[in-house]
Amino acid sequence: MARGPRRSSVSGPRPDGAATRASLLEAAGAVFAECGFDGATAKAIALRAGANAAAVNYHFGGIAPLYEEVLAEAHRRLVSYQSLARAASADTDPKDRLRRLIGLLVRVVRSQGDASWPAKVIVRELISPTPHFEKLRREELEPKKALLFGVVAGIMGVSIDHPLVAQSVFSILAPCFMLLIAEKRLSEVMPPLARANVSNEVLASRLANFALGGIAQLASGEGGG
């Protein structure tokens, strides 16, 4: 009697695999935001995602690789490389590019609500660093850093690796980090910075003016005291 075709012993990818992986990533973001890396468990993440307890290992190889993926995804959602690149290439004048970049960053950090796990995950990593930073640095931070460094170097008329470029970028990003980490408390201590008292556009313009003034001073004095 003729037999039908034999079934392969090798299983192909399940059609719902991508959906399960996405659900795990979303659930992990929320759990890491609430509990931090040390307080999170694969079981809690799988339970929130409605997945099997072994799903974290199957899809990500463990909770540490999953955390690395969540960190990179969190930064990507906060500000993507594409959005930064559009702002950085919008005008030929690097000063206008910097204004656009600062405007973008201010909008991003002031748009994060209390339910936003990407912001909370990044803030936790900034305040309590883990050993799982490399993927975020390599895939998200380095390309974005290169864009911002390039714009600032263009304004200063120096090479991208000049020490003053890094110092200028630090001064530009510091207010944005403060808004991301502690906007509510900052607004209580300094009411003029509250969203009700200053718009994104006005705040970004003032930060840009301050940054450009500082950059001009550093460039003219080559960082001298």
Residue-number span of the structural domain to which 105 is assigned = 80-221
Residues 62 and 123 in one domain: no
| pTM listed for this prediction | 0.83
**Mapping DSSP to helix (H, G, I), strand (E, B) and coil, where does residue 158 land?**
coil
Domain boundary among 75, 102, 124: 75
Residues 184 and 213 in one domain: yes
Q: What is the CATH number of the domain that holds 22?
A: 1.10.10.60
Residues 68 and 84 in one domain: no
Q: Whole-angstrom Cα distance, residue 184 to residue 195?
A: 10
Residues 190 and 89 in one domain: yes
Domain boundary among 75, 109, 143: 75
* Residue carrying structure tokens 């996405």: 22
What's the structural domain count of the chain? 2
Residue 36: exposure state from Cβ atoms within 10 A (0-12, 13-18, ≥19): middle
Residues 146 and 202 in one domain: yes
Residues 86 and 66 in one domain: no
DSSP-derived secondary structure letter, 137: I
Residues 155 and 89 in one domain: yes
Domain boundary among 60, 75, 90: 75
Q: What is the CATH number of the domain that holds 184?
A: 1.10.357.10
What is the block-wise mean pLDDT of the chain (225 residues), using blocks of 10 residues? 43 66 96 95 96 94 96 94 89 90 94 80 91 92 96 96 97 94 93 96 98 95 58
Neighbours of 207 (CB within 10 A): 20
Residue 2 lies in a domain: no
Residues 33 and 109 in one domain: no
Residues 186 and 99 in one domain: yes
Residues 61 and 159 in one domain: no
pLDDT of residue 3: 46
Residues 93 and 193 in one domain: yes
pLDDT of residue 114: 60
Residue 1 lies in a domain: no
Residues 30 and 122 in one domain: no
Residue 146 neighbours by CB under 8 Å, 6+ apart = 160
Q: Whole-angstrom Cα distance, residue 218 to residue 171?
A: 12
